[in-house]
């Protein structure tokens, strides 16, 4: 009878099985590691793109903020210059206003009406005079109301002038007193309003 020793073969098969198991374990570990690394790599790349886009957006926001600040500063300077121009224009009007106001007062007086007193305080005017009749006084008030400088013209009183005893007889006259408001700027109490200029800016009217 022939005997064959199979122990080395079995040992070899067992060793081969162990090597296969180890190789399979390594392969599975590699697959698992790749499965873990791929999403992380993708997320890291995506995060880098988002950070780059965020940096660009922040830079754009900073640029727009700077432009908005410059526009705001320009608007403030323009408003300051317009205010200065308005003050200059106001002073110019006030310099020539009294002369023109007196011219309007003289032109408004019709024939057969004589002014005897004129006083002004803080824009409040009191005018006294003599007229041939009430219609002449009414005409004077109408003309005065049309002036750029006089407004809110109102009759305070009117009375018949009594002749002094022994005085020579003359025409019957009416004594009157009128109150009004006076604006030397010529705006009838309204503030100077900016008007457009050819350059697009505005200046006081």
Give CA–CA dist 205/200, Å, rounded.
Answer: 15
Give CA–CA dist 91/162, Å, rounded.
Answer: 46
- Mean pLDDT along residues 42-52: 76
Give CA–CA dist 152/127, Å, rounded.
Answer: 13
Give CA–CA dist 126/152, Å, rounded.
Answer: 12
89-163+170-182 belongs to which CATH class? Answer: alpha beta
Q: What is the DSSP string of 97-135?
A: HHHHHHHHHHHH--TTEEEEEEEEETTEEEEEEEESSHH
Q: pLDDT tens digits, residue range 94-139?
A: 554 677 888 889 999 999 999 999 998 888 999 999 999 999 999 9
Checking if the pLDDT of 148 tops 80, the result is yes
pTM over 0.75: no
Q: Which of 97, 137, 94 is nearest to 113 (CA)?
A: 137
Domain residues of the chain, as ranges? 89-163+170-182
């Amino acid at each position: 009878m022939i005997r064959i020793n199979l122990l080395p073969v079995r040992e070899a098969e067992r060793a081969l099985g162990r090597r296969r198991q180890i190789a399979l374990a390594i392969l599975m570990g590699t697959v698992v590691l790749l499965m873990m690394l791929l999403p992380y790599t993708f997320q890291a790349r995506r995060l880098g793109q988002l950070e780059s886009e965020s940096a660009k957006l922040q830079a754009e926001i900073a640029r727009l903020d700077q432009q908005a600040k410059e526009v705001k500063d320009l608007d403030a300077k323009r408003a300051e210059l317009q205010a200065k121009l308005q003050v200059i224009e106001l002073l110019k009007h006030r310099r020539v206003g009294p002369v023109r106001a007196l011219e309007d007062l003289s032109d408004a007086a019709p024939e057969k009406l004589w002014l005897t007193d004129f006083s002004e305080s803080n824009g409040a005017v009191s005018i006294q005079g003599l007229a041939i009749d009430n219609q002449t006084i009414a005409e004077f008030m109408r003309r005065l109301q049309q002036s750029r400088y006089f407004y809110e013209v109102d009759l305070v009183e009117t009375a018949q002038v009594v002749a002094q005893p022994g005085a020579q007889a003359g025409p019957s006259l009416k004594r009157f007193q009128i109150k009004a408001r006076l604006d030397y700027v010529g705006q009838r109490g309204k503030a100077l309003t900016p008007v457009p200029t050819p350059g697009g800016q505005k200046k006081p009217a």
